[in-house]
């Protein structure tokens, strides 16, 4: 199957200048050329872009898109002044979603995720990381990971699973940390060898010592690690992640400029999640300081039922331009090529020969409108692995 996108404004990502008008040829699932004209190319399908922006499809590298139930009552509590951590301590927040996930079957969870993934695909995300973490028992964490695998089999793009074993603390399990490290982690290792292990280091959640214990054991079993850190409080987790060679530190709203400079000089990616600030508390990570120090910046939706109920990467770009001090070009790289690198998926996230043909055609003729406009879906067409997706 061959495809030609003609007369497009091509945004190539990764700092490469845009091309005002070009033709992109695709063979199978790969981009084969970017040329000024089509040179009479003989292809199966021609798409006339008419000057609209053609860019890499989005890579959403941090989501909690698998859940059951909702937290609408808690949202009303927050609107009346209740703090997120206070709701969590009272048994709400993550724990309310845990109860709903435990009550759902694997099939129900997979169907819930499949519906959300179809929305994310229409919004231009073709590569999506999805975490477990709402089970908090061995059986329920495995159920979530199996549901992610089941939904992934019918998704035309790529799903990257993550085992978020260190999420909330279950007050009904007196030896909860011991159980996770000694039982749940080995069970996940047996069924999902090499999967990334994640944790949430925060007051009321996993302590720094607990995260170190989990990660030390996970690394010994051959698992990469990622860490939620500095969302509300600086507990030293950023430095732990750097010390242990984590793939990323995610959140960073409470990180100081000096913290971010230390992170930027390490190989660890910084993942910032501006939808949390928009929805919860108007606090945002300092992306400008991190990028200026040479850091590897990733932006993601953090799609979840509590602090970030959105799946829209275009909205994340609009937020990052307003609240994180980024240019649109920087935000595009942080939602395409850099997250692909974080997830270990070379050969995607850019428009270049031999790269995977995951592309979006916008209704815009200027990519700066991704930062200027907000709300709605600017994506006219999604191409996933060289195939045009149904509208």
- pLDDT (tens, 9 = 90+) of the chain, 391 residues, equals 899 999 999 998 766 778 899 999 999 999 999 998 876 668 999 999 999 999 999 999 999 999 999 988 888 888 888 887 777 777 678 889 999 999 999 999 999 999 999 999 999 999 999 999 999 999 999 999 999 999 999 999 999 999 999 999 999 999 999 999 999 999 999 999 999 999 999 998 999 999 999 999 999 999 999 999 999 999 999 999 999 999 999 999 999 999 999 999 999 999 999 999 999 899 999 999 999 999 999 999 999 999 999 999 999 999 999 999 999 999 999 999 999 999 999 999 999 999 999 999 999 999 999 999 999 999 999 999 999 999 8
CA atoms within 13 A on the CB side of 22: 18
Per-residue model confidence (pLDDT) at position 75: 84
Q: All domains of the chain, ordered by start, with CATH?
A: 2-56+349-388 (2.30.40.10), 58-342 (3.20.20.140)
Per-residue model confidence (pLDDT) at position 40: 65
- Distance CA(211)–CA(357), nearest Å, equals 38
pTM of the model: 0.96
- Distance CA(205)–CA(164), nearest Å, equals 13
Per-residue model confidence (pLDDT) at position 77: 81
- Distance CA(212)–CA(197), nearest Å, equals 12
Per-residue model confidence (pLDDT) at position 89: 72
Per-residue model confidence (pLDDT) at position 58: 98
């Amino acid at each position: 199957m061959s495809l030609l996108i003609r007369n497009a404004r091509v945004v190539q990502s990764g700092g490469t200048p845009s091309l005002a008008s070009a033709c992109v040829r695709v063979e199978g699932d790969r981009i084969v050329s970017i040329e000024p004209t089509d040179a009479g190319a003989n292809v199966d399908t021609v798409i006339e872009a008419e000057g609209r922006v053609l860019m890499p499809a989005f890579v959403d590298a941090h989501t909690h898109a698998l859940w059951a139930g909702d937290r609408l009552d808690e949202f009303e509590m927050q609107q009346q002044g209740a703090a997120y951590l206070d709701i969590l301590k009272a048994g709400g927040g993550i724990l309310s979603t845990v109860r709903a996930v435990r009550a759902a079957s694997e099939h129900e969870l997979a169907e819930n995720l499949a519906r959300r993934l179809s929305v994310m695909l229409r919004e231009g995300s073709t590569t999506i990381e999805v975490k477990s973490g709402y089970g908090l028992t061995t059986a329920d964490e495995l159920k979530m990971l199996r549901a992610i695998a089941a939904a992934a089999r019918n998704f035309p793009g790529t799903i990257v699973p993550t085992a978020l074993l260190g999420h909330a603390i279950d007050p009904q399990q007196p030896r909860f940390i011991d159980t996770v490290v000694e039982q749940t982690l080995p069970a996940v290792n047996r069924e999902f060898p090499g999967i990334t292990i994640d944790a949430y280091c925060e007051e009321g959640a996993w302590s720094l010592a607990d995260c170190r214990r989990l990660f030390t054991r996970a690394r010994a079993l051959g698992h990469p690690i990622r860490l939620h850190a500095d969302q509300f409080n600086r507990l030293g987790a950023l430095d732990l992640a750097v010390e242990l060679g984590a793939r990323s530190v995610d959140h960073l709203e409470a990180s100081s400029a000096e913290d971010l400079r230390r992170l930027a000089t390490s190989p660890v990616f910084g993942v910032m999640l501006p939808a949390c600030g928009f929805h919860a508390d108007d606090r945002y990570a300092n992306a400008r300081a991190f990028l200026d120090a040479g850091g590897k910046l990733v932006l993601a939706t953090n799609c979840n039922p509590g602090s970030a109920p959105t799946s829209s990467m275009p909205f994340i770009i609009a937020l990052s331009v307003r609240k994180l001090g980024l240019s649109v070009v920087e935000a595009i790289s942080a939602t395409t090529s850099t997250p692909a690198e974080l997830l270990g998926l070379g050969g995607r996230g850019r428009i270049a020969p031999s790269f995977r043909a995951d592309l979006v055609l916008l209704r815009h003729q200027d990519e700066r409108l991704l930062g200027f406009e907000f709300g709605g879906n600017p994506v006219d067409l999604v191409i996933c692995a060289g195939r045009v997706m149904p509208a």
